[in-house]
Amino acid sequence: MFMRRGGRTTGRMFKKIVTGVDGSPNSMRALEDALQLAKQFSSELIVVYVVHIPITSYSYDVLGSLEVFNKLEEDGKQSLAKSASIASDAGVTAKTILLTGDPAQGILDTATKEEADLLIVGSRGTGTLERLLMGSVSERVVRFSKCPVLVVK
């Protein structure tokens, strides 16, 4: 499918699709939709996982904090490897990116750097207090993205 503006063809609708994964069921559904769209539009797919250490994980024990980080980083690597495998099985080549920091900001920065035409993220039910304090990742991605965002439930 091609976009048409003023009666002329402007190219593929989605040249680059960025999707954020965190291993949750909703993020895996977002990956499935990203794969389907990437196949349909012959898009480049970029899968990003952002290692986020909640403030409650920090302690006065530096080694304990390092263990938490290493575990979360390993989870991210495994999630990206699984995502790349699923993409390969679907006939799509996926570029994977592992970042550290705020998940919403990492996804947004990747979309900007990669010049994404579409962002796909999973919706996730966060607790009321957490949502009031910082909002969900998907809400912040929708609010601050410079490109269209598809939120998958």
Q: Which residues contact 67 (CB under 8 A, 6 or more apart)?
A: none
DSSP code, position 110: H
pLDDT at 2: 43
pLDDT at 39: 95
Residue 1 has pLDDT above 50, yes or no: no
CA-CA distance, 71 to 67, in Å (whole number)?
A: 6
CA-CA distance, 52 to 72, in Å (whole number)?
A: 8
> Residue for token digits 């990203």?
34
Report which secondary-structure segment, H or E, holds 12. strand 8-12
pLDDT at 59: 52
Distance of CA 121 to the CA centre of its chain: 6
Tell me what the mean pLDDT of segment 60-75 comes to: 76
pLDDT at 126: 45
> Residue for token digits 């999707």?
19
pLDDT in tens, 6-25: 444 445 689 999 999 998 89
- The answer to which of 62-76, 83-97, 106-120, 138-152 has the lowest mean pLDDT is 62-76
- The answer to which of 68-82, 94-108, 115-129 has the lowest mean pLDDT is 115-129
